[in-house]
Chains A and B, each alone.
Chain A
Amino acid sequence: MKVGVCIKSTPDADTRLKVAAGATGIETAGIKWVISDYEKGALEVGVSLKEKLGGECVLYSVGSGDTEKNLRDGLALGGDRAVMVDDAATKGTDALGIAKALAAAIKLDGLDIVLCGRQATDDENSQVPAMVAELLGWPHISFVGAFAIDGTDFVASRNMGGATEKVRGALPVVVTTEDTIATPRYVKLPEIMKAKSKKLEKKNLAALGLSAEAIAPAATFSAYSPPPSRPAGRKLAGDAAAQAKELVRLLREEAKVI
């Protein structure tokens, strides 16, 4: 079984994002880039499938800089090798551009399963995995909370907001996972050290048979602006009874929530 896991490097959840000067993006200085939360579960599933069924678990990512560190972290968790699409032209592309790069890299490896998080924790657009599936000509199963292989089929459970939908089908398949699908194992130091010498291939667009024009974005971001700052809270005065009375009045008449 050859399993691929797509990983996106996103700002750490504790990051306080700021709009960069010129409003053309976010200020990236000082940001700690980590594996997107939703993809940590996908990674655990991918590694577990490989351990159970044999074969290979390959990690894919598009980016530079910290992307390599995050791929190494994925290798420490149990990935066998990694492919990093490292090309300046990918900066500023859109979801379809990223999907084209990933699909081209995946095609070269002949995988059975591609796992992705249901969305990235930064832009949360949920577009790339479906596009990868389309470009590969594979089915795409989204919002998967449980995933298993049964013979030559896959069996996936989709969370449908209170109900569960079971899907069975033939491989290959692209799957997007919920973050609850699996708890990532703790990575031990010997695995971290071993990951340093695992194969991590950097490929530019030309190596994938793509060009900068092929992944040019259909639309570009024109401006970023921070959300409006929250107004200061209001302090109520008086004794407890007076405060409670005023609070109820405000909730009813101003906030209109009761």
Chain B
Amino acid sequence: MSSLFDRYFDDSHRTLRTEVARFVAAEIAPYADRWEEDASFDVGLYRKAGAAGVLGPTFPTALGGGGGDVFHGIVAAEELLKGGSTGTVAGLGSLEIALPPILALGDDAQKQRFVPPVLRGEQIAALAITEPGTGSDVAGVRTRAARDGDSYVITGSKTFITSGVRADLVITLARTSEDPHGGLTFFVVERGMPGFTVSKALKKTGWWASDTAELSFDGVRVPLANRIGPEGSGFIALMQNFENERLMLAIQGHALAERALELARAYANEREAFGRKISKFQVIRHKLADMATRTASAKALTYAVAAEMKRGGSVVAEVAMAKNHAAEVAEFVCREAVQVYGGMGYMREAPVERLARDARLLAIGGGTTEIMREIISKTMG
């Protein structure tokens, strides 16, 4: 069945897949259960992943990235997710959404200063957009950055920030003027800057191993050198960033579904009821067939969108479709996997239980399903 998607990959993708899989088998899979239960993964994993070349496969090689295309990013994400801890992948992957504004808007000095240490795993980067009063409506950002000589003073708060607790660099969207969209600017807020504090680590439905924070900015003085791009350039960069983030979430959708399907198949071939393996019952076989069909459909749409992105095409609506579809598929397939497991599926020790919780995020993060529908419908006239 896998040959259906072979056309998207060449030998360089296959070799990268093998290497990331080796890394995952050695450094993530053995610890995944513990990290999820502990709601934190080993911070040393960042450096290990950096040294192994796992971080930033699509970033420029001049900045320490892999220099690959979107499918190299897909390969790395899919293999990392097979490690069994979505939260760990979310934590390692926060750089994938935090660094692009610097690449898009930053000057060479900023790129050299901020990007390579993160891709080496020596520093942790987080993206801070959402606020207690503003989610999908980004134009409603209220955190302010007021110019004061050769620096800015940032005041406000951010919430639901992935990797926010441990981040060394928080790429923060703040308001520099009252223009709803044209008044937004990115700044790099660094750990230890006076007035910048992590208010609390948040407990979540899923993604337990990733740290998620509420951040407080109380008159944080940020030098001009930490402003990314000209004043007012933040919104456009953020919109471009969303395409990558949504693609990554769509990938996570089919990856979680594939894992849930694989686990459910294995369990159905083991578990006996009424004197035979439950995989012998048509009701289970058909359930697995539905799960496989939907998973393949999510993967097909996401890969098609990714191929268009690789070609340089505009995919604003298509990536929204892919994310929505993959989120629905992931929730359906993970729920059905729990169903195949029966009572065991409701137990915390069952891997499908965790997948079902993790999948719930996909319809919310990176723009909700409803916002995606707005984006899609606007392109329909």
Contacts A69-B11, A72-B11, A193-B12; is A187 near B67 (CB within 8 Å)?
no
User: Which chain A residues lie closer than 8 Å to B240 at the CB level?
Assistant: none
For residue A12, which residue of chain B has the nearest CB? Answer: B18
- B11 A187 Cβ-Cβ under 8 A: no
Q: Given A76-B15, A186-B19, A186-B22, are A193 and B53 also a contact pair (CB < 8 Å)?
A: no
B19, B23, B66 — most chain A CB neighbours (10 Å) = B19
In the assembled complex, B72 has its CB within 8 A of some CB on chain A? yes
With a CB–CB cut-off of 8 A, which chain A residues contact B253? none
Instruction: Please tell me if the beta carbons of B16 and A192 are within 8 angstroms of each other in the complex.
Output: yes
Query: With an 8 A cutoff between CB atoms, is B57 at the interface?
Result: yes
Q: Please indicate the chain B residues that have their CB under 8 angstroms from the CB of A191 in the complex.
A: 53
Chain A residues closer than 8 Å to B350, beta-carbon distance: none
Give the nearest-CB partner of B13 in chain A.
A192
Q: Chain B contacts of A188 at CB under 8 A?
A: 19, 52-53, 66
List residues of A (190-221) whose CB comes within 8 Å of B's CBs.
190-193, 196
Chain B's nearest CB lies how many Å from the CB of A121? 15
B11 pairs with A189, CB closer than 8 A: no
A190 to B16, CA, bound (A): 10
Q: B68 near A: Cβ within 8 Å?
A: yes
Q: Identify which of residues 33-58 in chain A touch chain B, using a CB-to-CB cut-off of 8 Å.
A: 34
- Min Cβ gap A131→B in Å is 30
Residue A94 CB within 8 A of the other chain = no
- For the complex formed, measure the closest distance between the CB of A113 and the CB atoms of chain B, giving whole angstroms: 26
Verify B52–A189 contact, CB threshold 8 A. Answer: no
Q: CB < 8 Å: which of B51, B53, B57 contacts A187?
A: B53
A contact residues around B68 at 8 Å (CB): 189, 193
The answer to the question of B134 belonging to the interface, with a C-beta cut-off of 8 Å to chain A, is no
Instruction: Determine whether B112 belongs to the interface, using a CB cutoff of 8 Å to chain A.
Output: no
Known: A73-B15, A196-B12. A190 touches B61 (CB 8 A): yes
Residues of B within 8 A of A190 (CB): 53, 61, 66-67
Chain A residue at smallest Cβ distance from B64: A190
Contacts of A76 in B (CB 8 A): 15
Nearest chain A CB to B15 CB, angstrom units: 5
Least CB separation from B49: chain A residue: A186
With known contacts A69-B11, A72-B11, A73-B15, A189–B57 Cβ distance under 8 A: yes
A69 cross-chain contacts in B, Cβ below 8 A = 11, 14-15
37-93 of chain B: CB within 8 A of chain A? 51-54, 57, 61, 66-68, 72
Chain A residue contacts of B19, Cβ below 8 A: 186-188
B72: chain A residues at CB < 8 Å are: 189
B135 to chain A, nearest CB (A): 34
B80 to chain A, nearest CB (A): 13
Q: B114: shortest Cβ distance to chain A, in Å?
A: 20
Q: How many residues of chain B are within 8 Å of chain A by beta carbon?
A: 19
The interface residues of chain A lying within 8 Å CB-to-CB of B61 are 190
Q: How far is the CA of A34 from the CA of B16 in the complex (A)?
A: 14
Point out the residues of chain B lying under 8 angstroms from A186, CB to CB.
19, 22-23, 51-54
- Taking the closest CB of chain A, its distance from the CB of B3, in whole angstroms, is 9
- The answer for the CA separation of A187 and B15 in the assembled complex, in Å, is 8
Query: Smallest CB–CB gap between B57 and chain A, Å?
Result: 5
Contact mask B1-21 → A, CB, 8 Å, 1/0? 000000000011011101100
Q: How far is the CB of B326 from chain A (nearest CB, A)?
A: 25
Highest count of chain B CB atoms <10 Å: which of A34, A187, A188? A188
Q: Which B residues are CB-close (under 8 A) to A187?
A: 15, 19, 53
Check A189 against B66 for contact (C-beta < 8 Å): yes
A73: chain B residues at CB < 8 Å are 15, 18
Per the bound structure, the CA–CA distance linking A188 and B68 in Å amounts to: 11
Closest-CB distance, A251 to chain B (whole angstroms): 25
Most buried by B among A69, A72, A193: A193
What's the Cα separation between A69 and B18 when bound, in Å?
A: 13
Distance between Cα atoms of A76 and B12 in the complex (Å): 10
Q: How far is the CA of A196 from the CA of B16 in the complex (A)?
A: 13
Minimum distance in angstroms from B166 CB to a CB of chain A: 23
**Chain B residue with minimal CB distance to A73?**
B15
Contacts of A34 in B (CB 8 A): 18
| CA–CA, A206 and B251, complex, Å | 50
Contact string, A121-138, partner B, CB cutoff 8 A, digits 1/0? 000000000000000000
**CB nearest to B76 among chain A residues:** A189
From B15, B18, B61, B72, residue with most partner A Cβ within 10 Å: B15
Chain B 194-227 interface 0/1 with A at a Cβ cutoff of 8 Å (1 = within)? 0000000000000000000000000000000000
Minimum CB–CB distance from A44 to chain B (whole Å) comes to 13
CA distance A187 to B51 in the complex (A): 10
B22 x A189 contact (CB < 8 A): no
Q: Which of A34, A187, A188, A189 has the most CB of B within 10 A?
A: A189
Give complex CA distance A190, B54 in Å. Answer: 11
B residues within 8 A CB of A192?
A: 12, 15-16
Assess the B67–A189 pair: CB atoms within 8 A: yes
- A191 → chain B closest CB, angstroms: 8
How far is B66's CA from A192's CA once the two chains are assembled, in angstroms?
Answer: 9
Interface centre among A72, A187, A190, A192 (most CB of B within 10 A): A192
Starting from the known contacts A34-B18, A191-B53, 19 additional A-B residue pairs (CB-CB under 8 Å) come to: A69-B14, A186-B19, A186-B23, A186-B52, A186-B53, A186-B54, A187-B15, A187-B19, A187-B53, A188-B52, A188-B66, A189-B12, A189-B57, A189-B72, A190-B53, A190-B61, A192-B12, A193-B68, A196-B12
A residues lining the B interface (CB < 8 Å): 34, 69, 72-73, 76, 186-193, 196
Which 3 interchain pairs have the tightest Cβ spacing? A188-B53, A189-B66, A186-B52
Residue pairs across A and B with Cβ atoms less than 8 A apart, 22 shown, are: A34-B18, A69-B14, A72-B11, A73-B18, A76-B15, A186-B22, A186-B23, A186-B51, A186-B53, A186-B54, A187-B15, A187-B19, A187-B53, A188-B19, A188-B52, A189-B66, A189-B67, A190-B61, A190-B66, A192-B16, A193-B12, A196-B12
